[in-house]
Amino acid sequence: MNPYDRFILPRLTNCVCGGSRVTRLRQLVVPRARGRVLEIGFGSGLNLAHYDRSCVDRIWALEPSAQMRALAMPRVARSGLDVRIIDAPAERLPLEAGSVDTVVATFVLCTIPDPSAALACALRALRPGGQLLFCEHGAAPDADVRRWQDRLNRPWRRLAGGCHLNRDIAGLIESAGFRIGELDSAYLPSAPRFVGYVSRGVAFPSRALTGG
């Protein structure tokens, strides 16, 4: 791992993703988590402050980056929540089928190498009647903005730790076997449009799962 990815990028990500506009979006999504929670891409623990402690029993915090886990530990210690760190990629989730009530994904589907596989694992982990809470940036609805997203995607990925600008968030979620129950998409005020189109909402398993 090069020095930029090891020392600079984790702190830069923590700073950018902890900004006031992004925090307001987290405040609209994270408090809706219930029961046993799986958070995909726990990062530096920025969502911890927004969980409703009266409604959450446990959080499985999936984060494969040692640097991000290190940044998260002070927040975990202060949270008062039962947080269980999982050092694994989202595409190889080591949880049993039907073991969680809520999956939380905030600003992570852009970066996971195989988001379809990660969402399939999340779907398997959800109990019947469980929910996926998501808030993600991705492909914009305007053709001119999408063209810029496609042009900038490769250099942006190198700069931003694998982050993709042009993923169809709603399409990925639905293709993985979820039914989107609520969806609110808009450009983030004051953010560059090529990186500022954000979709947030709630999705549910669209079919019953079988097998263990």
- The CATH number of residue 76's host domain is 3.40.50.150
Residue 212 in any domain: the answer is no
Residue 178 in any domain: the answer is yes
Chain segment 3-47, per-residue pLDDT in tens: 999 889 999 999 999 999 999 999 999 999 999 999 999 999 999
Tally of domains in the chain: 1
Q: How far apart are CA 53 and CA 105, in angstroms?
A: 18
Residue 210 in any domain: the answer is no
* Residues ≥6 apart with Cβ < 8 Å to 197: 137, 138, 139, 140, 141, 145, 185, 186, 187, 188
Residue 164 in any domain: the answer is yes
Residue 170 in any domain: the answer is yes
User: For residue 200, which of 120, 83, 104 has the smallest C-alpha distance?
Assistant: 104
Percent of the chain whose predicted confidence (pLDDT) is above 70: 98
Range of the domain at 103: 3-205
Residue 211 in any domain: the answer is no
Residue 21 in any domain: the answer is yes
Average pLDDT of the chain?
A: 95
Mean pLDDT, range 187-209, rounded to an integer: 91
Chain segment 86-136, per-residue pLDDT in tens: 999 999 999 999 999 999 999 999 999 999 999 999 999 999 999 999 999
Residue 173 in any domain: the answer is yes
The two structure tokens encoding residue 20: 């006031």
The two structure tokens encoding residue 22: 């992004």
